[in-house]
């Protein structure tokens, strides 16, 4: 006998969908995402199957699976990583009008093949015990190459995608030659050889190993929440966060984002999944757990992040340029001596 699928009325989206599944390949490592997937199933009847791993490993898996891949959604962090997936011709255009109406064009990929679902700013953390207010006031990324910061700055290595995207954004705004001069000046100002993750940079500032760190905004939220332990909580309390370039283009903003795979067997479900992630209720849940900034207007970030201010200027540079300019950024960083 032919199996008859159960048809569910889905109040969340105001339409009828068939009981089915959506297969999500994700390199995001938030335990809170699992609760989201369960809620999506409760709301829609669509089962969420998760394949989790590092972005590079998932990319190789997708290429190996080819047209037989069961993947519907690729969910990851940093526009540069989404661009890599698109460059391999693995994505298709997102068709959901709800998604396209909610997410600004500068936070979507070429041909709408991927979209932001949350934002993070790459900001400056400083030690108020060693950095004067007059030094930090009106600070731009470009100023970090000035000699006054010699031996005072910590940052991750040049292999880190977050740094590569920051440099790509500087190339987009200032040109390659000027950005290379900046990178060489920044390297001269390092307090130590690049090492560790973003939280390591913040801890170095808190401990007096450096005066200033460049790191993603959401890390301070994680640290202040206490979920990473008392040592990181105490370190976070010792530093302040500053949004660079507030007198001009604004702070560099990157994304967590997702795209629908070209060979997706469940395209309609995949579009519904993206709509779900960009609903106000889910956006609030996400940013309260990940300490990122929401995409949807009217949704506030977590209290930990909101405490650093909400009225700051964001760089409107299209995030797709972070991927397009990534090769130039990597070569530039190598030439500058940024290890």
Q: Please, what is the end-to-end C-alpha distance for the chain in angstroms? A: 64
Nearest to residue 10, comparing CAs of 284, 272, 277? 272
CB 2 within 8 A of CB 52: no
pLDDT of 275-318, one tens digit each?
999 999 999 999 999 999 999 999 999 999 999 999 999 999 99
d(CA 313, CA 316): 9
Question: Does 215 share its domain with 323?
Answer: yes
Residue 194 sits in a domain of what CATH number?
Answer: 3.40.190.10
CB 26 within 8 A of CB 34: no
* Band (4; pLDDT cuts 50, 70, 90): very low
Question: Does 146 share its domain with 177?
Answer: yes
Nearest to residue 194, comparing CAs of 181, 171, 210? 210
Please tell me the total count of domains within the chain. Answer: 2
Residues 6+ apart with CB under 8 A from 49: 21, 22, 23, 24, 70
Question: Does 293 share its domain with 330?
Answer: no
Of the given ranges (19-23, 154-158, 263-267), which has the lowest mean pLDDT? 19-23
pLDDT at 35: 85
Which residues are 258's β-sheet partners?
A: 75, 115
Residue 2: inside a domain: no
Question: Does 142 share its domain with 210?
Answer: yes
- HEC readout, 294-335: CCCCCCCCCHHHHCCCCCCCECCCCCHHHHHCHHHHHHHHHH
Q: In the predicted model, what is the mean pLDDT of residues 199-212?
A: 98
């Amino acid at each position: 006998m032919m199996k008859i699928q159960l048809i569910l009325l889905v109040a969340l989206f105001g339409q009828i969908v068939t009981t089915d599944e959506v297969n999500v390949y994700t390199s995001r490592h938030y335990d809170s995402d699992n609760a989201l997937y369960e809620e999506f199933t409760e709301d829609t009847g669509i089962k969420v199957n998760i394949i989790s791993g590092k972005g590079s490993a998932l990319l190789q898996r997708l290429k190996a699976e080819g047209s037989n891949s069961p993947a519907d959604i690729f969910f990851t962090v940093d526009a540069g990583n989404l661009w890599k997936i698109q460059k391999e011709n693995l994505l298709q255009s997102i068709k959901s009008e709800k998604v396209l109406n909610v997410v600004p064009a500068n936070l979507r990929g070429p041909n709408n093949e991927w979209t932001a679902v949350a934002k993070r700013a790459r900001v400056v953390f400083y030690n108020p015990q060693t950095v004067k207010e007059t030094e930090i006031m009106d600070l731009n990324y470009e100023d970090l190459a000035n000699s006054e910061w010699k031996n005072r700055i910590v940052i991750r290595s040049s292999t880190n995608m977050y740094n590569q995207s920051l440099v790509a954004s500087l190339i987009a705004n200032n040109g390659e030659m000027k950005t290379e001069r900046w990178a060489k000046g920044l390297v001269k100002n390092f307090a130590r050889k690049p090492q560790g993750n973003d939280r390591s940079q913040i801890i170095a500032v808190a401990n007096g190993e450096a005066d200033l760190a460049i790191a993603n905004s959401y890390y301070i939220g994680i640290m202040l929440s206490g979920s990473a332990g008392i040592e990181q909580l105490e370190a976070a309390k010792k530093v302040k966060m500053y949004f660079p370039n507030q007198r001009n283009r604004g702070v560099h903003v990157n994304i967590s984002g997702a795209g629908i795979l070209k060979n997706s067997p469940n395209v309609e479900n995949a579009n519904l999944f993206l709509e779900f992630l960009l609903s106000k209720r889910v956006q609030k849940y996400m940013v309260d757990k990940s300490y990122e900034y929401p995409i949807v207007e009217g949704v506030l970030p977590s209290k930990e992040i909101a405490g650093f201010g909400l009225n700051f200027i964001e760089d409107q540079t299209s995030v797709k340029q972070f991927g397009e300019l990534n090769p130039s950024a990597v070569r530039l960083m190598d030439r500058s001596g940024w290890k």
